[in-house]
Amino acid sequence: MVRRFFPAVGVMLALAWIGSTAFAQTAVDLSSTGLKGEVKQIKQGGTGIAGATVAYIGPGMTEAAETTTGPAGDFEVVNLPPGTYVLSVGADGYKPRQDITVTVVQGAVSPTDVKMREKTTLISFARRFGWVGIPLLLCSVAAVTFIIERVIVYARLNAGTTELLQRVSDALSQDNVMEAIQACEEVATPIANVLKGGLLRYSQGLVSGGQASKGEIQESMQEGATLELPEFERNLTWLSMIAVVSPLFGLLGTVLGMIKAFTVIALEGTNDPNALAGGISEALYTTAAGLSIAAPALVFYAIFENIVNTNTIRIEIAATDTVNALVLGGDSSS
């Protein structure tokens, strides 16, 4: 019985020693379990970002914990239970990084390097276009200026047109040419100036003791239309040119960007993807800018052309009605 007792005690002591050793080893592994890495700029050979905030949350954590990078942009967090952690990194002047997943393995410090891009400013955004951005900027400013100017002009030139035509029609129906002339002078729009030219020619004929013919009245109105219609078409040629030239500047930027990208490949191969991406991004930015300028310019040009055609037809109809009213009124009065 004694012989049986000692082997059993030996087995129990051995199991106890193995358990204590495993526990101690687990504690050691946990103390060296965590994550570390470096927060640095995204460009090739970018330096570390000091003072960046690294927030992490993982197993057993109810809220995120934080650590700060050192002078070289490095950070290290140990004594973490193994599992999956989600990191969020932020730094002044850089775009924040969110939802970076890291798997922490027991007994190891998982390496995690985070690259960050500088925040886009007006100057850094302009640099992405290269020198082609200068003509593109001028085209965009000119297009916006011409569009706003034309909208204001067309709103002013068409103001009160319906009321004017009604007043002229009522005055001529009463054979009161002077009242019709006064109505045109009060409005002073292109259509009013065209009608006033014919009305004045008709009234001059009455003053001289005769009567202006239909052809003379129409000729006076045509002369007035020749002077007034260019006001509707002013700056439309420039807007059309911008719609054509802007995509060409964008295409030029695309070609220059691709030349820059292939130059990087020829000199450095594909070891510097950020420099390569710089040329490609320049190509895409200029193309997008050129199309973004040309599309609205072309749309507004078509709208303005329709306004010009509509007003031309309206002037022709109003002039024809006025001439007929003057001639028929003169014939009936004689």
Q: 272 or 197: whose pLDDT is higher? A: 197
Structure tokens at 192: 């009013």
Which of 17-21, 72-76, 210-214, 273-277 is predicted with the least confidence, judged by mean pLDDT?
A: 17-21
pLDDT > 90 fraction of the chain, expressed in percent and rounded: 20
Is the confidence at residue 322, as pLDDT, over 60? yes
Measured between alpha carbons, how far is 97 from 12 in angstroms, rounded to an integer? 54
What's the confidence (pLDDT) of residue 212?
67
Specify whether 138 is located in the same domain as 111. Answer: no
Measured between alpha carbons, how far is 247 from 253 in angstroms, rounded to an integer? 10
Instruction: Locate the DSSP E strands across 10-127.
Output: 34-41, 53-57, 65-68, 74-78, 83-90, 97-104, 109-116
Q: Scan for tokens 């990191």, then name that residue.
A: 87
Specify whether 101 is located in the same domain as 167. Answer: no
Q: Select from 72, 177, 136, 181 the least CA-distant residue to 297.
A: 136
Q: 162 or 26: whose pLDDT is higher? A: 162
What's the confidence (pLDDT) of residue 334?
41
What's the confidence (pLDDT) of residue 1?
46
At residue 25 the predicted structure's pLDDT band, cuts being 50, 70 and 90, is very low
How do strand 74-78 and strand 65-68 relate by DSSP bridges? Answer: unpaired
Which of 58-72, 82-96, 202-216 is predicted with the least confidence, judged by mean pLDDT?
A: 202-216
Is the confidence at residue 147, as pLDDT, over 90? yes
From the CB of residue 303, how many other CB atoms can be counted at a distance below 10 Å?
A: 14
Measured between alpha carbons, how far is 291 from 247 in angstroms, rounded to an integer? 6
At residue 26 the predicted structure's pLDDT band, cuts being 50, 70 and 90, is very low
The string of DSSP codes covering 100-146 is EEEEEPTTSEEEEEEEE-BPP-HHHHHHTTGGGHHHHHHHHHHHHHH
Q: Which of 72-81, 121-130, 180-189, 251-260 has the highest mean pLDDT?
A: 72-81
Specify whether 104 is located in the same domain as 170. Answer: no
Which of 6-10, 113-117, 129-133, 225-229 is predicted with the least confidence, judged by mean pLDDT?
A: 6-10
Does residue 266 lie in a domain region?
yes
Give the C-alpha distances (Å, rounded to integers) separating 136 from 256, 261, 278, 297.
14, 21, 19, 13
What's the confidence (pLDDT) of residue 117?
81
Measured between alpha carbons, how far is 30 from 197 in angstroms, rounded to an integer? 98
Specify whether 169 is located in the same domain as 239. Answer: yes
Q: Select from 94, 108, 100 the least CA-distant residue to 55.
A: 100
Which of 53-62, 175-184, 291-300 is predicted with the least confidence, judged by mean pLDDT?
A: 175-184
Instruction: Say if residues 72 and 52 touch (Cβ distance below 8 Å).
Output: no
At residue 277 the predicted structure's pLDDT band, cuts being 50, 70 and 90, is low
Specify whether 244 is located in the same domain as 262. Answer: yes
The total number of structural domains that make up the chain: 2
Residues of the domain holding 43: 35-119
Averaged pLDDT, 63-71: 90
Does residue 12 lie in a domain region?
no
Specify whether 316 is located in the same domain as 277. Answer: yes
At residue 244 the predicted structure's pLDDT band, cuts being 50, 70 and 90, is very high
Measured between alpha carbons, how far is 225 from 244 in angstroms, rounded to an integer? 29
Average pLDDT, the chain: 79
Measured between alpha carbons, how far is 107 from 80 in angstroms, rounded to an integer? 10
Specify whether 281 is located in the same domain as 303. Answer: yes
What's the confidence (pLDDT) of residue 241?
94
Specify whether 41 is located in the same domain as 163. Answer: no
Instruction: Say if residues 318 and 191 touch (Cβ distance below 8 Å).
Output: yes
Specify whether 150 is located in the same domain as 282. Answer: yes
Is the confidence at residue 229, as pLDDT, over 90? no
Measured between alpha carbons, how far is 325 from 193 in angstroms, rounded to an integer? 17
Specify whether 150 is located in the same domain as 263. Answer: yes
Is the confidence at residue 73, as pLDDT, over 50? yes
Give residue-wise pLDDT tens across range 109-133. Answer: 888 888 888 777 767 666 777 788 8
Name the residue type at position 130.
G
Specify whether 170 is located in the same domain as 272. Answer: yes
Specify whether 43 is located in the same domain as 68. Answer: yes
